[in-house]
């Protein structure tokens, strides 16, 4: 199987690259953003018999017009006590929330002015604080609710009187902050992972061209895998918002590992034969079985999480299995296709036979039990004469 795959990739490398770019483009265009379809509310993954979920059902049954569930609490406070101008500002803010300028998902408001019977609940006894409740048509953690909270905060920041503290909290406020924190974590994780991968690959290969191969492979695999998982979420599968963070780590880690195996093995072999096309095919045959078996074990492990009782594990596992599978396929096809496209410029500014002969780069140690030969000898007597001459600067 790997022999046919190696032959196909080396002969039709242009079509392989075009196919991957096309698939990535189509998936990116068709699939929704994973951030829009992922579930940020982790309670959604609890089973129906969980005590907290049963309590929510009781509340919904007995208090169907719950004023605190899908709501945000705007807390207005002044340490020296609220002034008449501050209370007028609360009225102005409530009027804006009830107007057409407010976010469309705002269903209504509750304050001491509109609900005097809630005075003891909404007003502090010392007169320093009052609360303005904002109800939404959408539940917390949903993107429309989060966007509404952001819009309300922007409006408050632009119109709040001096020395008056106004903050948005409540279920919707906390949910928006949590969602924002998760997205910041994803962005930081992606940036740090990318920087570390680049530094490691530059240290290993010392070639910008060689560096481009795993980065392009990983990038395409990430776009495709993320799109496929987003499509599954859109189709009804609950996918945790944490999946994107895990996906970054898994794809970058596994993808880099697979590319290192292939490129390092190819570098060793081409240093011996000085021939590219046949050596690349042999590399796919030998290393393909190794990384495929490794990836299969990981895929099976992640897929097994699909039987977990906790819903988040039940969805994160299969999503990660999809990510690893896409990365494996990209590593076995796109990586060698890119290597074939770069040709003798793959290890620029050095030649692979020089690198393999001189030991300029650290050798990838692989067990002989897997059928991979040990690194070539560093003894000049066992090197090709041309490579020795290039390394020492002597020619016959």
pLDDT in tens, 252-295: 888 888 888 888 888 777 766 566 667 777 788 888 888 888 89
Q: What is the CATH number of the domain that holds 64?
A: 3.30.70.1430
- Full domain range(s) for residue 141: 45-175
Residue 322 has pLDDT above 80, yes or no: yes
Quote the tokens at residue 305: 């999480």
Residue 224 domain flag = yes
Does 238 lie in the same domain as 126? no
End-to-end CA distance of the chain: 45
320 assigned to some structural domain = yes
Residue pLDDT, tens place only, 170-197: 888 888 888 888 778 878 887 888 888 8
Residue 312 lies in a domain: yes
The pair of three-digit structure tokens given for residue 314, joined into one six-digit string: 């039940």
Is 184 part of any domain? no
Q: Which of 156, 165, 183, 148 is nearest to 71 (CA)?
A: 148
* pLDDT above 90 (res 25): yes
Q: 341 and 239 in one domain?
A: yes
59 and 118 together in one domain? yes
Tell me the C-alpha distance between 262 and 294, whole Å: 14
For residues 170 and 304, state if they share a domain.
no
β partners of residue 108: 135
CATH number, domain with residue 252: 1.20.1640
Number of domains, the chain: 2
Q: What is the pLDDT of residues 78-108, one digit of tens each?
A: 988 898 888 999 999 999 999 888 999 898 8
Q: At what angle are helices 311-342 and 277-304 packed, to 10 degrees?
A: 180
SS (H, E, C) 299-356: HHHHHHHHHCCCHHHHHHHHHHHHHHHHHHHHHHHHHHHHHHHHHHHCCCCCCHHHHH
Q: Is the pTM of this model over 0.75?
A: no
Answer for the pair 364, 263: CB distance below 8 angstroms, yes or no.
Answer: no
Tell me, what DSSP letter sits at residue 206? Answer: -
Distance CA 331, CA 216 (A): 10
């Amino acid at each position: 199987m790997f022999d046919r795959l190696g032959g196909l990739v080396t002969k039709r490398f242009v079509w392989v690259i075009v196919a991957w770019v096309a698939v990535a483009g189509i998936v990116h265009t068709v699939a929704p953003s994973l951030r829009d379809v992922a579930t940020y509310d982790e309670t959604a993954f609890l089973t129906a018999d969980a005590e907290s979920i049963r309590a929510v059902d009781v509340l919904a049954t007995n208090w169907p017009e719950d004023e605190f569930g899908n709501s945000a609490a705007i807390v207005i406070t002044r340490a020296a006590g609220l002034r008449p101008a501050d209370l007028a500002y609360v009225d102005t803010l409530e009027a804006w929330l009830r107007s057409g300028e407010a976010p469309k998902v705002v269903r209504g408001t509750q304050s001491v002015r509109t609900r005097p019977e809630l005075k003891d609940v909404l007003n502090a006894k010392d007169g320093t604080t009052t609360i303005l409740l904002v109800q939404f048509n959408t539940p917390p953690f949903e993107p429309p609710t989060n966007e509404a909270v952001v819009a309300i905060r922007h409006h408050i920041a632009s119109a709040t009187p001096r020395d008056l503290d106004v903050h948005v909290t409540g279920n919707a406020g906390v949910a928006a902050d949590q969602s924002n924190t998760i997205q910041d974590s994803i962005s930081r994780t992606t940036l740090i992972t990318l920087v570390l991968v680049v530094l490691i690959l530059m240290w290993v290969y010392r070639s910008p061209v060689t560096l481009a191969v795993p980065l392009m492979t990983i990038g395409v695999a990430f776009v495709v895998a993320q799109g496929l998982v987003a499509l599954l979420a859109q189709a009804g599968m609950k996918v945790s918002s944490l999946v994107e963070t895990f996906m970054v780590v898994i794809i970058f880690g596994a993808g880099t590992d697979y590319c290192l195996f292939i490129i390092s093995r190819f570098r060793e072999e081409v240093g011996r034969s000085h021939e590219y096309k046949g050596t690349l095919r042999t590399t796919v045959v030998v290393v393909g079985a190794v990384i495929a078996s490794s990836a299969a074990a990981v895929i099976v492990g992640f897929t097994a999480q699909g039987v977990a009782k906790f819903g988040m594990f039940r969805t994160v596992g299969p999503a990660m299995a999809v990510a690893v599978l896409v990365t494996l396929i990209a590593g076995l096809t796109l990586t060698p296709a890119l290597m074939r496209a770069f040709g003798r410029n793959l290890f620029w500014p050095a030649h692979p036979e020089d690198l393999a002969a001189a030991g300029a780069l650290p050798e990838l140690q692989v067990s002989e039990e897997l059928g991979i030969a040990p690194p070539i000898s560093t003894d000049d007597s066992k090197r090709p004469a041309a490579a020795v001459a290039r390394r020492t600067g002597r020619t016959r």
